Chains A and B, each alone.
Chain A
């Protein structure tokens, strides 16, 4: 980890100039309560890292009425994509500012989906799940991201594609995403059923149930 942190050692250097530390010490950086600024990109995982080739990758939206909408990898990357620059906040207390992604807005994927659902259960290769209100996936708030920092999204960070829903704690931004089940009733996901908050707004510090 130390090797990944730029300028973590100053043994051979004089005092680092303020310019080098960037936003770390800038007084106008606003972080959600209880968060600290990470310079690296920690890798969190609840299990083995799935290796999903784009040949067999598929993204599926299933509605509460049993309708199914599928996209192959080729179909996904041919959809209009956006470049997103956003801050991300992990419930384990690190935040990373100005991360750069490319992906397809959920507005595009949901455009032709007929649903009366209020809730979504996001499903990943490897079995991970996370839940959120459907309204948090629309109106330019969520993407299926497949590039990070100008490069293909690596498996450690959820590649080939992950959900990106940066206004909520980052456990909601499911890695290795494979689909969304639309639901009339809320259904807790992997962490939400084991003590974590159902919604997870970092600005209201909704880490655990009852927060």
Chain B
């Protein structure tokens, strides 16, 4: 059990596959704003906890939950209440 004393998060690039299933663009390069502390950063910079019933992404500044993604058999639930906005780069 001693190996589990370390924090087990990975970075937001781990969200790429799950989010690509839902969105037509790569959201890891989008800039999100945390509703807890106002931090702005790329989705790739989030702290992602995957050993859970869903995927939980937390703000790297304040650790608040900014994104939750639960994958059911034929549905997904995306909870973004911790995110003020996502700024998504598009081709001009």
Binding site for B on A (CB under 8 A): 42-49, 90-92, 127, 154-156, 171, 191, 193-196, 207-209
Residues of B within 8 A of A43 (CB): 4, 8, 51
Q: Which residues of B contact A (CB under 8 A)?
A: 1, 4-5, 7-9, 49, 51-54, 56, 58, 63, 65, 68, 70, 72-73, 75-77, 79
Chain B residues, CB < 8 A from A90: 53
**Within 8 Å CB of B76, what residues of A?**
195
Q: Are A194 and B58 in contact (CB under 8 A)?
A: no
A208 surroundings in chain B (CB, below 8 A): 70, 72-73, 75
A-B contacts, 29 listed (Cβ < 8 Å): A42-B51, A43-B8, A44-B51, A44-B52, A44-B53, A45-B8, A45-B49, A45-B51, A46-B49, A46-B54, A46-B65, A47-B49, A47-B56, A47-B63, A48-B63, A90-B53, A92-B53, A154-B1, A156-B1, A191-B53, A191-B54, A194-B68, A194-B77, A194-B79, A195-B54, A195-B72, A196-B53, A207-B72, A208-B75
A208 to chain B: closest residue by CB: B72
Q: Tell me which of B1, B5, B52 contacts A46 (CB under 8 A).
A: B52
Cβ–Cβ < 8 Å partners of B75 in chain A: 195, 208
Residue among B4, B5, B58, B75 with the most chain A CB within 10 A? B4
Instruction: Tell me the complex Cα distance, A206–B76, Å.
Output: 16
Q: Cα distance A132–B72 when bound, in Å?
A: 21
Assembled-state Cα–Cα distance A119/B5 (Å): 34
Chain A residues near B68 (CB, 8 Å)?
Answer: 194
| Bound Cα distance from A107 to B12, whole angstroms | 43
Main secondary structure of the interface of A (DSSP, over half): loop
14 further A-B contacts with Cβ under 8 Å, apart from A194-B54, A195-B72, A196-B70, are A45-B52, A47-B49, A47-B63, A47-B65, A49-B7, A90-B53, A154-B1, A155-B5, A191-B53, A191-B54, A195-B77, A195-B79, A196-B53, A209-B77
* Minimum C-beta distance from B74 to chain A (A): 10
User: In the complex the two chains form, what is the Cα distance from A146 to B13 in whole Å?
Assistant: 37
A138 to chain B, nearest CB (A): 26
Among B8, B9, B73, B75, the one with the most A-chain Cβ atoms within 10 Å of its Cβ is B8
Interfacial chain B residues near A44, Cβ < 8 Å: 51-53
